[in-house]
Amino acid sequence: MSELSITRADCLARDAQDPLAPLRERFDLPPDLIYLDGNSLGARPRAALERAQQVVAREWGRDLITSWNTAGWFDMPKRLGERLGPLIGAAPGEVAVTDTTSLNLFKALAAAVHMQAQAQPARRVIVTERSNFPTDIYMAEGLTEWLERGYRVRLVDSVDELPAAIDADCAVVMLTHVNYRTGYQHDMAMLTRHAHQNGALIVWDLAHSAGAVPVDLNAAEADFAVGCTYKYLNGGPGSPAFIWVPQRHQATFSHPLTGWWSHAQPFAMAHGFAPADGIGRALCGTQPVVSLALVECGLEVFEETSMEAIRAKSLALTDLFIELVETTCADHPLGLVTPRDHARRGSQVSFTHPHGYAVMAALIARGVIGDYREPEIMRFGFTPLYTRYVDVWDAVAILKDILDREDYDVAAERGAVT
Ligand SMILES: *Cc1c(COP(=O)(O)O)cnc(C)c1O
């Protein structure tokens, strides 16, 4: 076994010097729990409890329907979009927080396909990766099958095959920036340029990027983007997602989910649909107000730091985790799936183990929460806003103990959600 370059005391010292350390206080985390699953469900900002009480007791309970105006409910999708925008390189007026990632992806894909049908109707292929998150592929397949006009989805098996798959038949490229399973991060600027040079539009899914890694959609000249707020943005379970439509595409952006909230004058109750100007046309119907309101509590925390500071700590945490696992657990059949190359890494680390599910269940039983993804992958998410260096140390010590003593139950039953 090679020598460790660091001790637990060093980790505590790094926490003491960490400029982000005070932000941990903005979250309410159970003591004695090491939470490495912020990539699936972010921790609860302390402010969310009071905000929930305010929305439910005062805005709903006392002010009732007047709150659409007096409490700013109606404007919330756009107001939250303004706060989220800087995290992904969006300009003002380009982001709405609304609906789910699946639905927003459908809208963005439909808009992109429609734009291409006007400009280059022979292009009928949506290119994506077979390793993409299933809902993204399902939504693309659902759209193409329902169009029944020869549209289809082309699944690419490796990153190396992507450039060639973006050919003269390709209308739209749909990629998830950071892969949910491996933590691989695409080169957004390069692939966007490549798609455009080959006549395709590109839609980016930022589910594992927003709040996790720096993203600059406008610098990359991307076409559309969507993403979750309940992962690294800490918006709460099932909180509404976001959609980005850049200024240059807003006039031509159209989708089939033309509900009254995307109407130019929703309360005119007019016959016939007329789309709102700007990002408003990306909405559909009435928003889940209580859930939406809590998104703000997650976004507020980001305004006290920068994505550069978050990224620096994310890389330090993931580097430390990889080093500690590879050094202290070297005798065990663990395989690193996440890229070592910083430029290609998101804010998670995935290791395979033949009994990955059972080992993860044992970790969770001992207060280290990560999750499991087929096949064999143990996934650990690192959220620099609240994860400490000493958490990384302690999590690996527990992992090592479980593996050394084979203290996991291979026959254990699985829950519905892994
Ligand atoms: C988490 C995630 C989703 C989730 O979509 P929902 O509509 O919120 O269920 C979609 N795509 C990707 C890539 C994800 O990681």
Q: What percent of the chain is predicted at pLDDT more than 90?
A: 96
Separation between Cα atoms, residue 67 and residue 69, nearest integer Å: 5
pLDDT tens column, 9-49: 999 999 999 999 999 999 999 999 999 999 999 999 999 99
The CB of 180 under 6 Å from ligand 1? The reply is yes
pLDDT at 71: 96
Residue 192 tokens read as 């966007």
pLDDT tens column, 164-173: 999 999 999 9
Separation between Cα atoms, residue 53 and residue 385, nearest integer Å: 24
Separation between Cα atoms, residue 138 and residue 52, nearest integer Å: 33
Binding site membership: which residues? 101-102, 133-136, 176, 205, 208, 230, 260, 286
> Atom 14 (ligand 1): residue with closest C-alpha?
207
Mean pLDDT taken over the chain: 97
Instruction: Tell the CATH topology of 74-304.
Output: Aspartate Aminotransferase; domain 2 (3.40.640)
pLDDT tens column, 68-90: 999 999 999 999 999 999 999 99
The domain spans of the chain are: 8-47+306-405, 74-304
Task: Classify residue 185 by its DSSP letter.
Answer: B
Q: What is the CATH number of domain 8-47+306-405?
A: 3.90.1150.10
Q: What is the mean pLDDT of residues 375-392?
A: 97
pLDDT at 2: 61
- Label residue 416 by pLDDT band (50, 70, 90): confident
> Atom 15 (ligand 1): residue with closest C-alpha?
207
The CB of 207 under 6 Å from ligand 1? The reply is yes
pLDDT tens column, 104-147: 999 999 999 999 999 999 999 999 999 999 999 999 999 999 99
Active site (catalytic) residues: 133, 205, 230-231, 379
Q: What is the mean pLDDT of residues 388-404?
A: 98
Separation between Cα atoms, residue 202 and residue 188, nearest integer Å: 10
- Asked if the model's pLDDT at residue 408 lies above 90, the reply is yes
The CB of 258 under 6 Å from ligand 1? The reply is no
Residue 23 tokens read as 């932000």
Query: Is 0.75 surpassed by the pTM of this model?
Result: yes
The amino acid at residue 346 is G
Coil vs helix vs strand at 149: coil
